[in-house]
Amino acid sequence: MLRELSIKNFAIIDDLSITFEKGLTVLTGETGAGKSIIINAVNLILGGRASPELIRSSKETAELEALFEVPPESPVARVAEGQGFDLSDGLLIRRVIQKNGRHRIYMNGQLATLQLLSTINEHLASISGQHAHQGLLRAEQHLLVLDQFGGLTKLRGKVAEYHQKMLMLIEKYARLKRQHIEQTEHLELLRFLCQEIHQAAITPWEDKELEEERQRLKNAHQLYETVARCVERLYGAEGAAVEHVTEVARELQALRSIDGSLAPVAKRVEEAFFQLEDVANDLRGYLHDVVFDNERLEAVELRLDLLQRLKRKYGGSLESVLAYGKEAEEGLERLSMLPEQIAEVEGELDDLYERLCEVCRKLSRKRRKAAEKISAKVQQELKMLEMSGTRFEFRFKPNPVGEDVDPRLLLDNSGIEATGTDRADFLIAPNVGEDLRPLAQIVSGGELSRIILALKGILARQESVETLIFDEVDAGIGGSVAEVVGKKLQALAHFHQVICITHLPQIAKFGTHHFKIAKSVFRGRTKTTMTALHGDERVKEVARMLGGVRVTEKTLDHAREMMTGR
């Protein structure tokens, strides 16, 4: 509910603050006083387009501010709280319009975007004017009106949920199919790589071990001859190293009795003797193990050539070859599962398509029943609004089918969308004998205003908008029709906060609250003021609306009679 509205430097309004209450509030005043400017201000606060031309002359900025009281469980509260706003003290919206075109939006003191403002404000208020009926003239909104009236929003939501899941599954299925086609050649390559690396039976560090073995095999003769010569020099030949060491040890042993300090040295020589013997034995064992095998050498070189080729091909080392093989095996496993995944998604699509078709058919059946009921109610409401004989119907038609549409988004030659398979238009024939036409083609302002009012009245209990604002609802009507319109607005005020701009006293008298908007000149500047009327002031305003500029006692009596007879 709109609680407070503040307007500064906007059009001909200098500085204006208004407090609104529940019930029906009427705004009256002379033509050109600025009534519609106030509606334009509210429209901007709700996300309308801002223009520097709206700024009051000689001013650099215009500021619009509105405080809304938001019920805790309302759609507005759910959306706003989902965006991180605390609405316990209400929702304060402020728009600053600058001549340089850099406009700013604030919500509860936080800088916000126009998109966020429009999203949150969708259920705050609805402005209905002769040329701006907040969706009721747009054919794409007619289904929503019907679903709200028929209590079908949950079923419609289920259709939207299934439709979204269907789109996601169709995209997943197409992606898997593309992968399957694109990866066919890659699959064969992976199979070849896996087989090549697997057949090689590589072990870590194998290349280094084989390289050492090749060196031994290629140089077996040199190794044998040199080691044999070393054994001979150490142990076998005359004057071998072992003999000399033995002689040294014996002589030092003999000297220990003369000089005991030579004992450790003599012992170390003895140890050297035993070590040389061990070395000689080890070398003899080495000679025994020297291999002279040209066939083994050829096999080792062939194996090294294979390993070198694989290293060049897959990363430069055996570790990279093994890692590449493991990655190829994992990729092969993934790609091999694609047909199974595709079949699984196909099954999910078939199951979801059946459920989607079921809820779409159910929604369509219920819509047609609801259409009959709402058509009868609209005709009844229009009869009360002095439009008896008016015919009102819903025209259903299938959703169009685009080219290359997925078969799972088709049902009975209609495209399946988030709203189902139906499209619907309001059709009306205001006069007996006329053909039914779309609501948007109605040219009479009076007829259009009453049709909108009738729809608003029918949807009053279902509509989630808190505040209804009517601009020019009295266009093209008068007399008894205006009286009926006033009663209808009064009835709407039981369910919503209703704010109405009117030129007709027959409507103004039904207001719970009454504001007069006036224009005056102060210090050479035109400004608009807004005054709350009570008692005699209100009677005088209704008298002005009845009699024009000159208000007589007779006109005042008529006004009092109207006010007491409402």
**Residue 514: per-residue pLDDT:** 94
At residue 355, φ and ψ (nearest 5 deg) are: -65, -40
**Residue 162: per-residue pLDDT:** 95
**Residue 171: per-residue pLDDT:** 93
21-32 burial code (b ≥16 CB/10 A, e <16): eebbbbbbbeee
CATH topology for the 1-124+465-533 domain: Rossmann fold (3.40.50)
475 against 48, higher pLDDT: 48
270 — pLDDT class (breaks 50, 70, 90)? confident
Least confident of 11-20, 200-209, 473-482: 473-482
**Residue 279: per-residue pLDDT:** 85
The answer to whether residue 78 scores a pLDDT higher than 60 is yes
Query: Do the Cβ atoms of 97 and 61 come closer than 8 Å?
Result: yes
**Residue 130: per-residue pLDDT:** 47
At residue 137, φ and ψ (nearest 5 deg) are: -95, -10
Could you tell me the residue ranges of all domains in the chain? 1-124+465-533, 187-336, 536-566
Q: 319-340: per-residue pLDDT in tens?
A: 887 877 777 777 676 767 778 8
Q: 121-142: per-residue pLDDT in tens?
A: 767 777 765 444 445 667 777 8
Query: Do the Cβ atoms of 4 and 27 come closer than 8 Å?
Result: no
Distance CA 132, CA 470 (A): 10
For every residue of 270-300, DSSP letters joined together read: HHHHHHHHHHHHHHHHHHHH----HHHHHHH
19 against 385, higher pLDDT: 19
438: β partners: 427
Residues 174-196, mean pLDDT to the nearest whole number: 74
Residue 218, SS3 per DSSP: helix
60-70 burial code (b ≥16 CB/10 A, e <16): ebbbbbbbbbb
Q: How many CB atoms lie within 10 A of CB 78?
A: 12
Query: Do the Cβ atoms of 126 and 467 come closer than 8 Å?
Result: yes
Share of residues in the chain with pLDDT > 70 (%): 92
Q: What is the DSSP letter of 83?
A: T
Q: 417-427: per-residue pLDDT in tens?
A: 999 999 998 89
**Residue 566: per-residue pLDDT:** 61
In order of 91, 190, 247, 300, 390, the CA distances from 318 in angstroms are 68, 18, 55, 16, 88
Distance CA 547, CA 356 (A): 62
| Full-model pTM | 0.62
To the nearest whole number, what is the mean pLDDT of the chain? Answer: 83
**Residue 294: per-residue pLDDT:** 82
Residues 344-354, mean pLDDT to the nearest whole number: 93
Least confident of 5-19, 205-219, 358-372, 423-437: 205-219
The answer to whether residue 513 scores a pLDDT higher than 70 is yes
**Residue 388: per-residue pLDDT:** 82
Q: 295-310: per-residue pLDDT in tens?
A: 888 888 888 888 888 8
The answer to whether residue 188 scores a pLDDT higher than 80 is no
21 — pLDDT class (breaks 50, 70, 90)? very high
Least confident of 151-160, 194-203, 291-300, 540-549: 194-203
In order of 127, 133, 489, the CA distances from 512 in angstroms are 19, 24, 11
The answer to whether residue 150 scores a pLDDT higher than 70 is yes
Share of residues in the chain with pLDDT > 90 (%): 22
Distance CA 313, CA 329 (A): 17
Residue 415, SS3 per DSSP: strand
Q: How many CB atoms lie within 10 A of CB 562?
A: 19
Q: What is the DSSP letter of 60?
A: S
